Amino acid sequence: MSTFEFHTTKSIVVERGAAANIATRVVDLHCRSVLIVTDPGVLAANLLDSALTSFKERNIPVNVFSDVLADPPESVIIAGIAAAQAVSADCIIGFGGGSSMDVAKLIALLATGGQNLADVYGVNQAKGPRLPLILLPTTAGTGSEVTAIAIVTTGENEKKGVVSPLLLPDIALLDACLTLDLPSAVTAATGIDAMVHAIEAYTSKRLKNPISDALAKDALRLLSANILTACEHGKNIQARENMLLGACLAGMAFANAPVGGVHALAYPVGARFHVPHGLSNSLMLGSVMRFNMGEAEALYAELADIVYPAASGSSFRRATMLIEYLQNLPAQLGIATRLRDVGISEHDINDLAEDAMKQTRLLINNPREIALADAITLYKEAL
């Protein structure tokens, strides 16, 4: 067995109704002033109510920063840092989807004043210290609660990552009650996003290891068995909890065995056309998997046995059936299936491909090398 390392969040709590007890977690961290980082949708849906009540009962000062945007730009992080410093926050809580959790990570890191945002882009550029950090996902998708990365939109059409173990929170709280009212389309896109994380972790050219493999397979088992139920019967708490745990396991897997070509080609779609991250991944998944077949066929066949047990025959046939199943899944779930469905035309493809080539951090993990000409072809196939 090759030498490997595995890192994840120190404490993961799966508890229905955990949001209502979050003040207890803050007390355990010896904190006295809290900033909750979230987005307007979470606020409007009243998902924060039970958490805010718990702080009131404990007489703990709490402020809410709710200006997070999807694909958060640098200005949002800078405003959040200022908000934390203005109230002398000594604990940051990320409450929402991947964007809110990513912003919370960066606020916790940078509100201490040790570094600026521009200093920490890239791998292991963050020095710390950071404030205590708790993350509560309200979607079953990104797995951000267990990943050491935060993604920021820089300029108009580019994303950059901050990658550091310092971004792993002190506590991740998985409360399925927070996901019961998610619209079906959001459930579908975020669920496929989590499946992509597991698939790319399992087939990653770099840092793939027995622990990430086990997590990726169990994540796919949970996600594939529950995504239809979660979309069609959103109040099914067991299906919701299975999706949330599956997304978390997938996050743990790809945090250690990093994602590749699907994400590299999806990022420009999100940055240029403001397509949600999960949907961007879904739109590129089939094309990239077919492209990777020469290098990843055997691994895809292994995953087919989990995701699509009806698959049978040779390794090539099972892998092909998996790709076909995943490519048909978005239509079953009622979300966009082609790039043209989200406003992308052939005129945009060269720009998207050039942007994708900048995602070297991701491209090096893909089972098969993707050149500029390949990226153009893949976008055309997905169009």
pLDDT score for 158: 78
Please check whether residue 151 is in contact with residue 281, taking contact to mean a CB–CB distance below 8 angstroms: no
Residue 363 included in any domain: yes
Instruction: Determine the Cα–Cα distance for residues 6 and 257; give it in Å rounded to an integer.
Output: 9
Same domain for 325 and 308, yes or no, is yes
pLDDT score for 218: 98
Please check whether residue 99 is in contact with residue 70, taking contact to mean a CB–CB distance below 8 angstroms: yes
pLDDT score for 194: 98
**Last residue of some domain: 151, 178, 205?**
178
**Last residue of some domain: 163, 178, 193?**
178
Residue 4 included in any domain: no
- pLDDT, average across residues 86-113: 97
Same domain for 82 and 59, yes or no, is yes
pLDDT for 182-211, tens place per residue?
Answer: 999 999 999 999 999 999 999 999 999 999
Same domain for 95 and 188, yes or no, is no
Q: Output the pTM of the full model.
A: 0.95
pLDDT band at 269 (very low <50, low <70, confident <90, very high): very high
**Last residue of some domain: 154, 178, 202?**
178
Residue 5 included in any domain: no
Same domain for 339 and 208, yes or no, is yes
Structure tokens at 173: 């709280």
Predicted confidence (pLDDT) at residue 224 exceeds the cutoff of 90:
yes
Same domain for 166 and 310, yes or no, is no
Hey, how many other C-beta atoms are within 10 angstroms of the C-beta on 331?
10
Q: What is the tally of structural domains in the chain?
A: 2
Same domain for 242 and 166, yes or no, is no
Helix axes 315-333, 210-232, angle to 10 degrees: 40
Residue 52 included in any domain: yes
Residue with tokens 């499946």: 195
Same domain for 125 and 250, yes or no, is no
pLDDT for 3-50, tens place per residue?
Answer: 999 999 999 999 999 999 999 999 999 999 999 999 999 999 999 999
pLDDT score for 2: 83
Average pLDDT over all residues of the chain: 96
Residue 16 included in any domain: yes
Backbone angle region of 113, left / alpha / beta, with phi > 0 → left and psi within -120 to 50 → alpha: left
Same domain for 211 and 168, yes or no, is no
Predicted confidence (pLDDT) at residue 157 exceeds the cutoff of 80:
no
CATH assignment of the domain containing 20? 3.40.50.1970
pLDDT score for 7: 92
Q: Which structural domain range is residue 119 located in?
A: 11-178
Hey, how many other C-beta atoms are within 10 angstroms of the C-beta on 174?
23
Same domain for 201 and 246, yes or no, is yes
Residue 3 included in any domain: no
| DSSP at 68 | -
Output the CA angle 260-198-94, nearest 5 degrees: 95
pLDDT score for 71: 86
Alpha helices in the chain (DSSP H): 22-28, 40-44, 49-58, 74-86, 98-110, 184-202, 210-232, 237-256, 261-273, 277-307, 315-333, 349-356, 360-363, 372-382
Residue 6 included in any domain: no
Q: In the chain, pLDDT over 90 holds for what percent of residues? A: 95
DSSP 115-150: --GGGS-EES--------EEEEESSSS--GGG-SEE
Residues 6+ apart with CB under 8 A from 260: 200, 203, 204, 205, 362, 363, 364, 365, 366, 367
Residue 38 included in any domain: yes
Same domain for 230 and 148, yes or no, is no
Cα 341 to chain centroid, rounded: 22
pLDDT for 160-171, tens place per residue?
Answer: 889 999 999 999
CATH assignment of the domain containing 235? 1.20.1090.10
Q: In the chain, pLDDT over 70 holds for what percent of residues? A: 100
pLDDT for 283-329, tens place per residue?
Answer: 999 999 999 999 999 999 999 999 999 999 999 999 999 999 999 99
CB-based burial, 124-156: b 16+ in 10 Å, e otherwise: eebeeebbbbbbbbbbbbbbbbbbbbbbbbeee
Predicted confidence (pLDDT) at residue 155 exceeds the cutoff of 90:
no
Predicted confidence (pLDDT) at residue 1 exceeds the cutoff of 80:
no
pLDDT for 130-143, tens place per residue?
Answer: 999 999 999 999 99
pLDDT score for 159: 81
Same domain for 149 and 200, yes or no, is no
Same domain for 267 and 238, yes or no, is yes
Structure tokens at 200: 């790319």
